[in-house]
């Protein structure tokens, strides 16, 4: 075994690799970009080195810089994690040329499986079934459109390089093919530097089942059972579990044998995942699955395999890379219980899952029996627009599927994220969904159930607004002039407050009333504030009963547990964040004298703004162009995902304020569409 390892990655996978490497006695070396200077993986490693600016192409994707650091720090090996350089054959070769062990398969295996078209051809020769479609070299749009027609709609356009759903588009009609192809190629070029695609038949009600495989340099290969990854959004996995619901010994044997044969055909060494698609309209069958692709690296969802096997897959990677043989044979491996993983992301399900950036004002991740959390961020850290917005992976293991799901549901219920929006409420709704509990899901389940899962625009939560306003007013009282304070009650607590203050609605006699304007994500609204002999009372929009939401502050977390147990309030800078049932509402007091200068010049309905921090990768119109309502105007890319901006109305582009290729901030006005005069 070698003595040191450099981790050429960031976030939770870097922390994950560092912990195992340290446990088995290796010296660990981290690399980081300027944006990650304070990241947990930097402090966890024995040493860390700056490799460049925030953008991945100038830091984590700089193979030359990473090898330079590895040589300078005398690292014996490099672990690439997943993403970035993990499936880059040239990087694997560069490591070998520098005398550094690459912890992954040989470059030949990466090339064999790295391009989906070549991989399908290779495994088909080995007798592994593949999805019908076109996997050849020709890339002319007219030719690909014809092949899609011959395959039969619906079809999938898929980038031949990379994974994670990037560069992938479903097309249901011939007339939509050209636009979908251009979008897939643009995204594939951005994510992988390769615009080439393949066409394959879209299987209705598909289930996504993958096999974890391992091979050593001594000719041994085996599988570590399957994972079901059918709960997906935009072809990206959301929840994964092992074993797959409804899996029989016969199907597992057939799928496992096919996966091992695929690995052998590629001359594979190390950890890999062979991904299959199965028809989910009925029971799984030994002849009812097809090869999709092979990921020549460790997968994000590997913890569920570790949970049901009791193995450390990173340790296996390190030992195999060090020349050791696999310690177990296929018959030695057994399934222990069930495990489920949920990916906690900084994104807003109510706004089409747009990535959400900003400082993590509060972060409380779950713990407990059967619960594991892999994370690469910390409270006070920043979620930036430069990388994948994952906050954590939450994994639950139990003796049965029901027990694992109950533990995951409870873990999600106790998770607190304040600052960026997150998908915790959406994840809990998924885990609790009756169809998922019954195992009756396919890859289209989320899209069919967005509304019931809370992933559509929701009205403001009046309870959250009232709770936030109460805490802001309490904080306001704490700043009052001590000489003017009188004794009163705020909820169940006795407090000193200023009856003459501007927000106290002072009157010489009778019940006092004032209106307190507040602002949330959904806009401005008013809270009615009453004072009587019992103290203050609030009446939030849509509420019939006056309340004063009570809370106890926890200074260590800067949050307050609401008295009725319904949620928490977190103090921010000039605002509070209220989390009720996983859903976050930001509340700030509004100065009624403030004027919104941006809207003084008339109707702002024609303004086209960036929904997030990102890069303007496509600007499709210019000043003076006529546009139709819903027409595609521009494309913003953030965290490796594209987001289309369309015309809010028919009219003329009266101004363009951004340039293609530049970084834009959330809310930045990119252009204005002026309606045509009647």
Predicted TM-score (pTM) of the model is 0.83
What confidence score (pLDDT) does residue 204 get?
A: 80
Q: Count CB-CB contacts under 10 A for residue 669.
A: 15
Structure tokens at 593: 């004298």
User: Whose structure tokens read 């989320």?
Assistant: 446
What confidence score (pLDDT) does residue 564 get?
A: 63
Angle at 112 between CA 111 and CA 118, to 5 degrees: 110
pLDDT at 609 exceeding the cut of 60: yes
Distance between CA atoms of residues 605 and 669, nearest Å? 12
Task: Determine phi and psi for 401, rounding to 5 degrees.
Answer: -65, -45
Going along the chain from its start, the domains and CATH numbers come out as 4-103 (3.40.50.20), 132-201 (3.30.1490.20), 204-334 (3.30.470.20), 337-457 (3.30.470.20), 462-589 (3.30.700), 597-674 (2.40.50.100)
Angle at 15 between CA 10 and CA 17, to 5 degrees: 100
The single-letter DSSP state of residue 258 is: H
Residue 426: which H helix or E strand, with range?
helix 424-432
How much is the average pLDDT of 347-365? 92
Angle at 266 between CA 264 and CA 268, to 5 degrees: 70
Reply yes or no: is the peptide bond before residue 259 cis, omega within 30 of 0: no
How much is the average pLDDT of 84-111? 96
What confidence score (pLDDT) does residue 332 get?
A: 97
pLDDT in tens, 518-575: 999 888 888 888 877 666 778 888 777 777 776 665 555 556 666 566 788 888 888 9
**What Å distances lie between residue 567 and 233, 391, 414, 673, CA to CA?**
27, 20, 10, 41
Distance between CA atoms of residues 635 and 614, nearest Å? 10
Task: Determine phi and psi for 430, rounding to 5 degrees.
Answer: -65, -50
Taken in order 45, 51, 57, 62, the sign of the CA dihedral is negative
Least confident of 36-45, 182-191, 585-594, 635-644: 635-644
Point out which residues pair with 371 in neighbouring strands. Answer: 396
Residues with a known catalytic role = 297
Q: Which of 294, 215, 282 is nearest to 248 (CA)?
A: 282
User: Whose structure tokens read 């706004």?
Assistant: 351
pLDDT in tens, 139-156: 999 999 999 999 999 999
pLDDT in tens, 241-257: 999 999 999 999 999 99
CA atoms within 13 A on the CB side of 228: 26
Task: Determine phi and psi for 414, rounding to 5 degrees.
Answer: -95, 0
Task: Determine phi and psi for 577, rounding to 5 degrees.
Answer: -115, 125
How much is the average pLDDT of 20-43? 97
Please tell me the total number of residues recorded for the chain in this structure.
678
The single-letter DSSP state of residue 39 is: -
How much is the average pLDDT of 393-410? 98
User: Whose structure tokens read 């807003």?
Assistant: 348
pLDDT at 639 exceeding the cut of 80: no
**The most confident of 183-187, 240-244, 466-470, 673-677, by mean pLDDT:** 240-244
CA atoms within 13 A on the CB side of 16: 28
Indicate the pLDDT class of residue 483, thresholds 50, 70 and 90.
Answer: low
Instruction: Check residue 505 and give left, alpha or beta (phi > 0: left; psi -120 to 50: alpha).
Output: left
pLDDT at 348 exceeding the cut of 80: yes
Q: Which of 29, 52, 51 is nearest to 41 (CA)?
A: 29
Q: Which residues contact 372 (CB under 8 A, 6 or more apart)?
A: 303, 307, 394, 395, 396, 397
């Amino acid at each position: 075994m070698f003595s040191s390892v450099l981790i050429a990655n960031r976030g939770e996978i870097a922390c994950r690799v560092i912990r195992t490497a340290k446990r088995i006695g290796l010296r660990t070396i981290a690399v980081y970009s300027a944006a990650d200077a304070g990241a947990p993986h930097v402090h966890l490693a024995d040493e860390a080195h700056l490799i460049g600016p925030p953008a991945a192409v100038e830091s984590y994707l700089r193979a030359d810089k990473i090898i330079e650091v590895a040589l300078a720090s005398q690292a014996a090996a490099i672990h690439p994690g997943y993403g970035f350089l993990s499936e880059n054959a040239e990087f694997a070769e560069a490591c070998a040329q520098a005398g550094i062990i690459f912890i992954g398969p040989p470059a030949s295996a990466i090339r064999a499986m790295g391009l989906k078209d070549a991989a399908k051809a290779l495994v088909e020769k080995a007798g592994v079934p593949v999805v019908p479609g076109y996997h050849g070299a020709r890339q002319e749009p007219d030719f690909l459109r014809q092949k899609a027609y011959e395959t039969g709609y619906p079809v999938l356009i898929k980038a031949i390089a990379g994974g994670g759903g990037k560069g992938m588009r479903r097309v249901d009609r011939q007339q939509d093919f050209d636009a979908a192809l251009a979008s897939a190629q643009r995204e594939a070029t951005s994510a992988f530097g390769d615009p080439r695609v393949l066409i394959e038949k879209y299987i209705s009600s598909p289930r996504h089942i993958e096999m974890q495989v391992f091979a050593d340099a001594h000719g041994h290969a085996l599988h570590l059972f399957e994972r079901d990854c059918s709960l997906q959004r935009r072809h990206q996995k959301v929840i994964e579990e092992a074993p797959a619901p409804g899996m029989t010994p016969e199907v597992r044997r057939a799928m496992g044998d096919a996966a091992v044969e695929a690995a052998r055909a590629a001359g594979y060494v190390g950890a890999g995942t062979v991904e299959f698609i199965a028809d989910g309209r009925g029971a799984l069958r030994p002849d009812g699955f097809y090869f999709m692709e092979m990921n020549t690296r460790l997968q994000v969802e590997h913890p569920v395999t570790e949970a049901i096997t009791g193995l450390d897959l990173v340790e296996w990677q390190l030992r195999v890379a060090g020349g050791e043989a696999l310690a177990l044979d296929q018959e030695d491996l057994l399934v222990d219980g069930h495990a489920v993983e949920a990916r906690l992301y900084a994104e807003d399900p109510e706004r089409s899952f747009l990535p959400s950036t900003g400082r993590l004002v509060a972060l409380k991740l779950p713990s407990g029996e059967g619960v594991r959390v892999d994370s690469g961020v910390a409270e006070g850290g920043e979620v930036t627009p430069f990388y994948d917005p994952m906050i954590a992976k939450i994994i639950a293991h139990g003796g049965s599927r029901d027990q694992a799901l109950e533990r995951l549901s409870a873990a999600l219920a106790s998770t607190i994220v304040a600052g960026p929006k997150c998908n915790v409420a959406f994840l809990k709704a998924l885990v609790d969904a009756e169809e998922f509990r019954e195992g009756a899901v396919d890859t289209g389940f989320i899209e069919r159930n967005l509304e019931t899962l809370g992933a559509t625009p929701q009205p403001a939560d009046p309870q959250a607004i009232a709770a936030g306003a109460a805490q802001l007013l309490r904080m306001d009282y704490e700043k009052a002039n001590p000489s003017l304070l009188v004794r009163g009650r705020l909820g169940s607590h006795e407090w000193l407050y200023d009856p003459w203050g501007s927000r106290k609605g002072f009157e010489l006699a009778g019940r006092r009333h004032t209106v307190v304007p507040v602002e949330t994500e959904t806009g401005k609204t008013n809270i009615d504030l009453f004072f009587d002999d019992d103290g203050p009372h609030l009446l939030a929009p849509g509420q019939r009963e006056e309340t004063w939401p009570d809370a106890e502050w926890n200074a260590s977390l800067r949050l307050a547990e609401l008295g009725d147990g319904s949620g928490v309030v977190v103090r921010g800078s000039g605002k509070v964040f209220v989390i009720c049932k996983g859903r976050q509402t930001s509340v700030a007091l509004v100065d009624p004298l403030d004027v919104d200068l941006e809207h003084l010049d008339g109707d702002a309905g024609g303004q086209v703004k960036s929904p997030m921090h990102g890069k303007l990768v496509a600007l499709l119109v210019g000043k003076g162009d006529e546009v139709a309502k819903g027409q595609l105007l521009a494309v913003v890319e953030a965290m490796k995902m594209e987001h289309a901006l369309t015309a809010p109305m028919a009219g003329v582009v009266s101004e363009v304020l951004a340039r293609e290729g530049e970084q834009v901030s959330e809310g930045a006005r990119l252009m204005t569409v002026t309606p045509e005069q009647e």
